[in-house]
Amino acid sequence: MIRSLLVCTDGSPCGKVAVRYARHWAERMSLRVTVLFVEDLRLTQGPLMTGYYGPVGMAPSVAYPAFYDDLVHSVKQQARRVMDEAREAFEDSSLSVGYEVHEGIVRDVILDKARSVDLLCLGRQGEHGEWEDGELGSTVQKVLRRSQRPVLVTPSEFRPLGRLLMAYDGSNHANRALRAACDLASEAGLPMIVVTVAPDSRDRPRYDGILDEARKLVAPYDGIHAEFLADVEADPENVIMRLSQERQCDLIVMGAYGESRIREWLLGSTTAGVLASSQLPVLLMR
């Protein structure tokens, strides 16, 4: 059951959209919200530990102390600006919202703070997103690999919750994701589509059985309007993306990185493919 949410923002366009999603979800499900900004230790301390002394045999620049002070001041100013913007985003809301600024390695601070909440919300790219060439930001990828909490990865544009698509493959990650999807659909009153994709027609009977398993998991939840679909496609990502568009879904829910690391490295991951392609928010469960 989701009762609290941590949203991380750096003031970037995607970060601001993540804050909008946090408010929307919190209002739909009466969640307690914490807004987090991390002062990147690599920016404020990294240059001090390396650049100040310069390469071996070279004296430090006399201009460096002033540059370093300006850098720290700039990061502090950014933190205040981002928190002020977040407060404005929740200004007329009756939600319980906390605002926290911490210094550290961004990934590590996020993971540590996520331990005390039920859901983590991140924009798919950070302030240097234009350098990522449309791909997930590096911090998001690192957090997804290690987070033990569900993670909502939000896109560059906001859209309210209406219908969710649950990608189910029978794995333990997908099993937990389906339960989370049922909680969400029940609490927020959302219709749900559950889809499973067989890689080959010869596997279709086994995946029909997986879909039956999903039906049994959904059955005890009251008030959920769920549709169950099975398809055959070598690349499940194609089916997930096509159905999310055809059925006008507003959220994709799936297990995170269900394949083995070796298989994922050789063939690519359905999770990674959906995250890279989707213009919808994606809720991932480990």
Residues 269 and 259: their CA atoms lie apart, in Å, by 7
Architecture of the domain whose range is 164-285: 3-Layer(aba) Sandwich (3.40)
What is the pLDDT at residue 257? 61
Is pLDDT at 245 greater than 70 in this prediction?
A: yes
CA diameter of the chain? 72
Q: How confident is the model at residue 42 (pLDDT cuts 50, 70, 90)?
A: confident
Q: Residue 84: which residues within 8 A CB-CB, separation 6 or more?
A: none
What is the pLDDT at residue 243? 96
Nearest of 247, 228, 240 to residue 284 by alpha carbon: 240
Give domain limits for the chain.
4-58+68-154, 164-285
Read off the pLDDT of each residue in 207-230 and give the average, rounded to a whole number. 95
- CATH fold group of domain 4-58+68-154: Rossmann fold (3.40.50)
Please provide the distance, in angstroms rounded to a whole number, between the alpha carbons at the two ends of the chain: 15
What is the pLDDT at residue 75? 86
Is pLDDT at 112 greater than 90 in this prediction?
A: yes
The dihedral built from the CA positions of residue 131, 134, 137 and 138, taken in this order, carries a sign that is negative
Task: Enter the tokens of residue 15.
Answer: 């970060």
Q: What is the residue-wise DSSP string for 55-103? A: STT-PPPTTHHHHHHHHHHHHHHHHHHHHHHHHHHTTT--S-EEEEEEE
Q: Are 224 and 186 in contact (CB under 8 A)?
A: yes
Read off the pLDDT of each residue in 253-270 and give the average, rounded to a whole number. 60
- Bridge partners (DSSP) of residue 39 are 103
pTM beyond 0.75: the answer is yes
- Bridge partners (DSSP) of residue 120 are 6, 151
SS3 state of residue 33: strand
Is pLDDT at 254 greater than 80 in this prediction?
A: yes
Q: What percent of the chain has a predicted confidence (pLDDT) above 70?
A: 83
Nearest of 159, 170, 132 to residue 282 by alpha carbon: 159
125-165, pLDDT tens digit by residue? 765 544 455 567 788 888 988 898 999 999 999 999 999 99
Count CB atoms within 10 A of the CB of residue 190. Answer: 20
What is the pLDDT at residue 130? 47
Q: How confident is the model at residue 60 (pLDDT cuts 50, 70, 90)?
A: low
β-bridge pairing 119-123 and 151-154: parallel
Read off the pLDDT of each residue in 263-267 and give the average, rounded to a whole number. 42
9-39, pLDDT tens digit by residue? 999 999 999 999 999 999 999 999 999 999 9
Is pLDDT at 176 greater than 60 in this prediction?
A: yes
**Fold match between 4-58+68-154 and 164-285?**
yes
Is pLDDT at 240 greater than 90 in this prediction?
A: yes
Phi-psi region of 137 (alpha: psi -120 to 50; beta: other; left: phi over 0): beta
Is pLDDT at 227 greater than 90 in this prediction?
A: yes
